[in-house]
Amino acid sequence: MTEVRGYAARDAQSPLAPFSFTRRSPGPHDIEIEILYCGICHSDLHQARNDWRNSLYPMVPGHEIVGRVTSVGEHVKKLKAGDFAAVGCMVDSCRHCSACDDDLEQYCEHGATWTYNSKERNSDALTFGGYSEKIVVEERFVAKVPPHLDLKATAPLLCAGITTWSPLRHWKVGPGQKVGVIGLGGLGHMGIKFAKALGAHVVMITTSPGKAKDAKKLGADEVLLSRDAAAMAAQAASFDFLLNTVPVPHDLNPYLALLKRDRTMVLVGVLTELEPPVQGGALIGGRKSVAGSGIGGMKETQEMLDFCGEHNIVADIEVVPIQAVNEAYERLLKNDVKYRFVIDIESLRKEAA
Amino acid sequence: MTEVRGYAARDAQSPLAPFSFTRRSPGPHDIEIEILYCGICHSDLHQARNDWRNSLYPMVPGHEIVGRVTSVGEHVKKLKAGDFAAVGCMVDSCRHCSACDDDLEQYCEHGATWTYNSKERNSDALTFGGYSEKIVVEERFVAKVPPHLDLKATAPLLCAGITTWSPLRHWKVGPGQKVGVIGLGGLGHMGIKFAKALGAHVVMITTSPGKAKDAKKLGADEVLLSRDAAAMAAQAASFDFLLNTVPVPHDLNPYLALLKRDRTMVLVGVLTELEPPVQGGALIGGRKSVAGSGIGGMKETQEMLDFCGEHNIVADIEVVPIQAVNEAYERLLKNDVKYRFVIDIESLRKEAA
């Protein structure tokens, strides 16, 4: 066991504060990583504050983790000391169900073990995330970071990246297709970059005229204002795919009208109820689908990182010291970030030193 | 032009009553059919009463039509005088859009011409449906009825049949799959028969314990009571496909929990809003889909009829004279029919004679 320092929420009300805990010593299949950067995901905030009523305390959030391998167990083949490594939303799964067999550990039929706010496999010990100096994870759940990527801007790929990458690949987005990305935040900005790099004609769909310029800088070919009924009508039945990243309940029906026959809108942002209900007729008239997609498996996480390495894709970020995490949460609530906060974990080491 | 007798709604309030109108003389590509039987679809009632606020009067309902060919135009190849023929929900479409090219005329991008409550292509003349003696339809929109099928019980295949057949085929339902049919009415009873004949393990999902016996008679292997939370939990994540035939707004979320990962629930019954909203998390946790499907194209309508001919599949019906159509509507509102009313059009000829 090693003593590790981090920042934790002690309960739903208190701000995050310094916290010490222990990590296991690396076993034969484990990789020990010195954490260098950790992205701040919206879900960190929701879980720290128990918004989803499933929080376990003390909680060390963080599942967009990149760092340097410090040691590996004797059976580890994927990485060696000194390599750059990444850990995302999961650190374990059952490994024998059909989802795990299909490299989709996030849908593990016995429940994946999440990087934080979860319990270690077959144990009551809590998992602790990336707002900390160090993490020890089994090889399967560690990805290799292509060497020349900007490391701090790579961190958000582990959640915001894979969450948008996975559905774009699963629904086979590519050249010749018109793809809409709904909502421009942490997820949406990665959705635009990926859809564009995959060869699609990308339309950023937003309620905010102010986001048009940035959307184009990120790679969008067009911007469609969803409150402009005439503009929406002009693009009716013209989209091959819609990636809906909006994180709050909203009306899906106007977006369904944008889809061509036999096409799908995938929800990745909203975990709660939609508002108002979907209209059966909006699906029936054109055999359309509304689907959901959750993060991605470890195999596709590695594929995404490799693709990012080839295309030099990273997130647009703002780096903050860990001492500013509570302030960053407040700014996140106001969407005041372009487009992801990343904690420089060096600030934690300096604080302790 | 020929004078034709039928029954029509004159407005949203009045009962259906005798009505005379004219049909065109058959053109070179037309087929003239002496109507023998016409099924009563729920949508007949909704449209006669203007429940969907799009009714055109006078309205002669009926789109589950079977009869005998009396004459054909010179270019007609599919059928000849004396053959048994069927007409469903459409009598025309643009014939040059991608949907028409894909034999999915029901999704015609310029709008299909419906058998009634619609306007003739490029005209303001209303279309009149199957509650009448005779109909004239272009060859593409007429199907051939396999000769040995019970004709009166074949009529409902043209709407209730194709509406359930098309999604079962599109989503590739077959042997080794567990398929749920939600709701046991006109659509649901056909869904059970088709899913069973296609080789699936069929579970009838209903709110009514009283329907269990009938469901098994129709071919269901199991009955699942959707209000039995323990029974629903026991079958969580075990279904390969769900065909939802419920015609009224209802909560989809409990059914989504029944689906395996990457599977779909298809709505065919409810055109209005669902209630309450779908939960994003219910889709995201397993990459599930809610889709819609509307009737079927003419090619798949013929494939369905041929399949029914091979497997001797018809609807379970109750035959009524046309003079009882208003009473049948009242019983339909109470679900008091197993499972489809069919009008014997001979009763119309006798009335006029």
DSSP state of A246: -
Is residue B311, in this structure, part of any structural domain at all? Answer: no
CB-based contact (8 Å) between B274 and chain A? yes
pLDDT number for residue A269: 86
Who among B104, B276, B292 is closest to A283 (CB)?
A: B292
Q: What distance in Å separates the CA atoms of residue A36 and residue A145, rounded to the nearest whole number?
A: 13
- A97, A103, A107, A264, best to mutate vs chain B, most B CBs in 10 Å: A107
Give the whole-angstrom CA distance, residue A140 versus residue B174: 35
Of the candidates A274, A275, A284, which has its C-beta nearest B267's C-beta?
A284
Domain boundary among A259, A292, A325: A292
CA dist B118 and B109 (Å) reads: 16
Confidence of residue B277 (pLDDT cuts 50, 70, 90): confident
Q: Which residues of B touch A288 (CB under 8 A)?
A: 291-292
Question: Taken in order B160, B163, B169, B171, is the CA torsion positive or negative?
Answer: negative
Residue B168 and residue B131 share a domain: no
Q: Distance, in angstroms, between B14 CA and closest chain A CA?
A: 27
Distance from CA of B90 to the nearest CA of A (A): 14
Name the residue with tokens 């040059």: B96
**How many residues belong to chain A?**
353
Q: Do B277 and A249 touch (CB under 8 A)?
A: yes
Give A 254-273 residues with CB within 8 A of chain B: 261, 264, 267-273
**Cβ–Cβ of A292/B272 closer than 8 Å?**
no
Cis peptide bond upstream of B167, omega within 30: no
Question: Do residue B274 and residue A277 have CB atoms under 8 angstroms apart?
Answer: yes
Token pair for B194: 């088709």
CA angle B237, B238, B242 (to 5 degrees): 95
Cβ separation A261–B293 shorter than 8 A:
no
- Are A32 and A109 in the same domain? yes
Q: Is A279 on the interface with B (CB under 8 A)?
A: yes
Q: In Å, how far are A90, A119, A285 from A10, measured between CA atoms? A: 22, 16, 50
B175 occurs within a structural domain: yes
Q: What are phi and psi of B293, to 5 degrees?
A: -150, 135
Under the banding of pLDDT at 50, 70 and 90, the label for residue B248 is confident
Q: How far apart are CA A188 and CA B211, in angstroms?
A: 47
CATH number at residue B240: 3.40.50.720
Q: Which of B249, B272, B284 sits opposite A292 (nearest CB)?
A: B284
- Residue A314 and residue A292: Cα distance in Å, rounded? 24
A134-143 pLDDT tens trace: 999 999 999 9
Spatial CA neighbour of B31 closest among B65, B79, B92, B66: B79
CA atoms within 13 A on the CB side of B299: 9
Q: Is B309 domain-assigned?
A: no
Q: What is the per-residue pLDDT across B100-151, written as a single tens digit (0 to 9) for each? A: 999 999 999 999 999 999 999 999 999 999 999 999 999 999 999 998 999 9
**Which residues 192-231 in chain A show a CB within 8 A of chain B?**
none
Give the mean pLDDT of A6-31: 97
Verify that A71 and A134 share a domain, yes or no: yes
Cα–Cα distance between A299 and A54 in angstroms, integer?
A: 28
Q: What is the DSSP string of A17-56?
A: EEEEEEEPPP-TTEEEEEEEEEEE-HHHHHHHTTTTS---
Residues A228 and A341 in one domain: no
**For a pLDDT cut of 70, what percent of chain B falls above it?**
99
Average pLDDT over residues A238-260: 94
Residue to mutate among B187, B289, B300, with most A CBs inside 10 A, is: B289
Rounded Cα distance between A297 and B262, Å, is 14
Please report whether residue A307 resides in a domain. Answer: no
Interface test with B, best of A289, A293, A300 (most B CBs within 10 A): A289
Residue B272: the pLDDT is 72
pLDDT at residue A70, rounded to an integer: 98
Q: Could you tell me if A27 lies within 8 Å of chain B, comparing CB atoms?
A: no
Give residues 288 to 307 of A whose Cβ lies within 8 Å of B: 288-294
> How many contacts does A have with B, using Cβ atoms within 8 A?
126
Say yes or no: A86 and A132 in one domain. yes
Residue B226's φ and ψ, nearest 5 degrees, are -70, -15
- Kindly state whether B342 is in contact with chain A, defined as any CB-CB distance less than 8 angstroms: no
DSSP string, A141-199: G-EEPPTTS-HHHHGGGGTHHHHHHHHHHHTT--TT-EEEEE--SHHHHHHHHHHHHTT
Nearest CA in chain A to B261: A107
pLDDT in tens, B7-54: 999 999 999 999 999 999 999 999 999 999 999 999 999 999 999 899
Q: How many residues does chain B have?
A: 353
The predicted structure's pLDDT at residue B275? 67
Note whether B101 contacts A: Cβ–Cβ < 8 A. Answer: no
The distance of Cα B159 from the centroid of its chain, to the nearest Å, equals 2
Average pLDDT over residues A148-160: 97
Q: Across the strands, what pairs with A267?
A: A244, A292
Contact check, Cβ <8 Å, B285/A292? yes
Chain-chain contact of A294 with B274 (C-beta, under 8 angstroms): no
Residue B302 belongs to a domain: no
Pairwise CA distance, residues B242 & B1, whole Å: 46
Nearest of B151, B212, B160 to residue B191 by alpha carbon: B160
Are residues A103 and A9 part of one domain?
A: yes
Is residue A275 within 8 angstroms of chain B, CB to CB? yes
Question: Any CB–CB contact under 8 A between A237 and chain B?
Answer: yes
The pLDDT value recorded for residue B77 is 96
Number of domains in chain A: 2
| B161-185 per-position pLDDT tens digit | 999 999 999 999 999 999 999 999 9
Given a cut of 80, whether residue A276 has pLDDT beyond it is no
Q: Is there a contact between A284 and B271 if contact means CB atoms under 8 Å apart?
A: yes
- Main-chain phi, psi angles of A332, to 5 degrees: -60, -40
One domain for residues B14 and B124: yes
Q: A101 CA to chain B: closest CA distance, Å?
A: 13
Q: Report CB contact under 8 Å: A278, B280.
A: no
* One domain, residues A131 and A202: no
Mean pLDDT score of chain B, rounded to an integer? 96
Digit-coded pLDDT (tens) for B279-325: 888 899 999 999 999 999 999 999 999 999 999 999 999 999 999 99
In a domain, A175, yes or no: yes
Rounded Cα distance, B259 and B238, in Å: 6
Q: Which of B13, B57, B40 is nearest to B324 (CA)?
A: B40
Residue B152: is its pLDDT beyond 70? yes
Kindly state the DSSP code that residue B323 receives in the 8-state scheme.
G
Q: How confident is the model at residue A295 (pLDDT cuts 50, 70, 90)?
A: very high
Residue with the two structure tokens 């969008």: A220
Percentage of chain A modeled with pLDDT above 70:
99
| Facing B291 at nearest CB: one of A268, A283, A293 | A283
How far B352 CA lies from chain A's nearest CA (Å)? 39
Give the up-direction half-sphere exposure of residue B69: CA atoms within 13 A in the CB hemisphere. Answer: 26
- C-alpha torsion sign, points B56, B271, B37, B71: positive
- Give the span between the Cα atoms of B193 and B230, in whole angstroms: 27
Kindly identify which residue of chain A lies nearest to residue B98, measuring between CA atoms.
Answer: A261
Residue B208 lies in a domain: yes
Query: Percentages helix, strand, coil for chain A, rounded to the nearest 5?
Result: 30, 30, 40
Cross-chain Cβ contact A276/B273 below 8 Å: yes
Residues B24 and B144 in one domain: yes
> Burial of A292 by CB count in 10 Å (0-12 exposed, 13-18 middle, 19+ buried)?
buried
Taking contacts as CB-CB distances below 8 angstroms, the residues of chain B near A300 are none
Q: What are the residues facing B242 on neighbouring strands?
A: B180, B265
Contacts of A275 in chain B (CB under 8 A): 277
Mark whether B284 and B326 lie in a shared domain. no
For residue B189, the distance in angstroms to the closest alpha carbon of chain A comes to 20
Q: Which residues of B touch A274 (CB under 8 A)?
A: 277-280
Question: Which residues constitute the domain of residue B179?
Answer: 161-292
Does the beta carbon of A111 lie under 8 angstroms from any beta carbon of chain B? no
Give the pLDDT of residue B215. Answer: 96
Residues of A in contact with B283 (CB under 8 A): 267, 290-292
CA distance A60 to A10: 9
Q: In terms of domains, do B154 and B187 share one?
A: no
In-domain check, residue A322: yes
> ipTM of this predicted complex?
0.92
Whether residues B44 and B189 fall in one domain: no
**CB of B98 less than 8 A from some CB of A:** yes
Mean pLDDT, range A249-276, rounded to an integer: 88
Q: Is B38 helix (H, G, I), strand (E, B) or coil?
A: strand
Chain A residue numbers with beta carbons less than 8 Å from the beta carbon of B293 are 284, 287
Cβ neighbors of B210 (< 8 A, separation 6 or more) are none
Cβ-based contacts of B271 with chain A (< 8 Å): 279-281, 284
Which CATH number do you get for residue A333?
3.90.180.10
Q: How far apart are CA B281 and CA B271, in angstroms?
A: 23
Backbone φ, ψ for residue A89 (5° rounding): -80, -15
Tell me the pLDDT band of A275, cut-offs 50, 70 and 90. low
Q: What is the pLDDT of residue A279?
A: 86
- Which of chain B's residues have a Cβ under 8 Å away from the Cβ of A281? 271-272, 292
